[in-house]
Amino acid sequence: MTAAKLAASLKASIRTKVSPDGATNVPGEMPNMLTENQVNAFHETGWITIQSLFSAHEIERMRSCFSALERIASGMTETGLRDGSWFVLGDKDNEQVIKRVVWAGAAQPYLLEIGADRRLTVPASQLLGSSRMEQLLSQAHFKRPRDGVVFGWHQDIQHRDKGNGTWTDVNGRGSFVQTLVVIDEMTPDSGPLQFIPGSSRWGRVDFGDHDYDDPGYQAAMPPQFSDDDAVTITARPGDTLFFGPYTAHASFENTSANYRRVLINGYAYPGANNRVYPGDGAGRIVCVD
C-alpha cells in the first residue's frame, strides 16, 4: 500500500471515542494499517513517515490550539500547571520561551481528540502488538524563530525509564511508540528532527542524564554514535512520524524566520509504565478493537 493510499484509508476510519473512565473503545475488528515493510522499517531503521496523514483543515485547527496555548503561556511567569496542562517555560534575551506543554490536550481538548484518532492509534497498536495502550504523552512542542530550544541527542527510553521500577519492557521491543504530527513545514534550518538509522537496534545506550532546561548541558555520546550517520527529516504539515524508544534522535535551534511546531503523542504497552505523568487525564487507556 502506498503512503497516499494508507493515509486515505486511515482518514476514512472513525475516531476513537473516550469513555468517562478514561478508556476508549472502537467497534469492529482491529485492523492492520501498516504494511509489512513499514513495520520492518520501524523496528530495523527506527522510524517511518506517513505523508499527509492529517488534512490542511485539521492542521489549521491544531495551529489554533497551539496559538491558544501560547496565549496561556504569555500570562505565566514560570513553569507550572495551567488548565490541566504543564507548561515548561524559560527565557532567552529577556523573552519568554515555551519549551514544551505537557499533556497539552487537557487545556486544548481537540488535541486529545487527535491523540485518540485511529490514524495514530491503529498503527501504534500494530507496532506495539497490543490492542490496549496507555497514552503517556500529549505534548505541544514549540520552536519559535531563534528561541534557543534544543533537544540534544537522546533516546526516549531515557524519559520513560527513570529506574527504581518505573519502566518494564513488556513486549521486548521497547514497549513504546511515539508519534509526531508536523504542524509547520520542517525545513533544514527550522530545527528539524534528526535520526540515526539503525539505532533502534542498539537497546538502551548512555547519552547521559539529559537536562534540556540547562543551557550548558552537553550530552554524552555512546561509542555507537556518529554525527555522520544522522539523517535530517524534512516534512510538510500533516505528515506524521512514528518512532520507537531506542531510536537516537535530536533537534537543534530553529534559525529560520518561521515557527516549527509539532504535536507529540506517545503510547505504551500495557503494564510497561509505572510513573505518574503530569497533566489532568495523563495516562488514559486507549483501546483499538
- Tell me the CA distances in angstroms from 6 to 1, 63, 109, one per residue in order: 6, 24, 26
Give the integer Cα–Cα distance in Å for 225 and 199: 8
pLDDT in tens, the chain (289 residues): 444 444 444 444 333 444 334 443 333 344 578 999 999 999 999 999 999 999 999 999 999 999 999 999 999 999 999 999 999 999 999 999 999 999 999 999 999 999 999 999 999 999 999 999 999 999 999 999 999 999 999 999 999 999 999 999 999 999 999 999 999 999 999 999 999 999 999 999 988 876 665 656 667 889 999 999 999 999 999 999 999 999 999 999 999 999 999 999 999 999 999 999 999 999 999 999 8
pTM of the model: 0.89
| One-letter amino acid for residue 178 of the chain | Q
Three cell numbers written together for 165: 521500577
- Tell me the CA distances in angstroms from 125 to 47, 235, 269, 278, 280, one per residue in order: 15, 24, 9, 23, 23
User: Residue 178's pLDDT is what?
Assistant: 98
Domains, the chain, ordered by start:
22-205+246-287 (2.60.120.620)
